[in-house]
Amino acid sequence: FEIPLKGYFWNPSGQNEMLITYFTINTFFLCLSAILLGWIMDLKTINANNTDKILVPILGVFAIIITQYIVVPYDNSSYFFILLFIGLAIKYLDTQNKQYFIGLILVMILATLNRESSALSLSFIATIIISKLGISKKSLFPVAILTSVFIAMYFVMRLYYGSFSTNDGNLLIVNFTQVRNYIGML
The predicted pLDDT at position 53 comes to 92
Radius of gyration of the chain (CA): 19
pLDDT digits over 22-69, tens only?
Answer: 888 999 999 999 999 999 999 988 889 999 999 999 999 999 888 876
- Report the candidate in 47, 46, 76 with the shortest Cα–Cα distance to residue 63: 76
Query: DSSP letters along 136-158, please?
Result: SHHHHHHHHHHHHHHHHHHHHHH
Bridge partners, 86 (sequence order): none
As a whole number of angstroms, the distance between CA 175 and CA 156 comes to 22
The predicted pLDDT at position 99 comes to 96
pLDDT digits over 163-177, tens only?
Answer: 665 566 666 777 788
CA 151 to chain centroid:
15
The predicted pLDDT at position 164 comes to 62
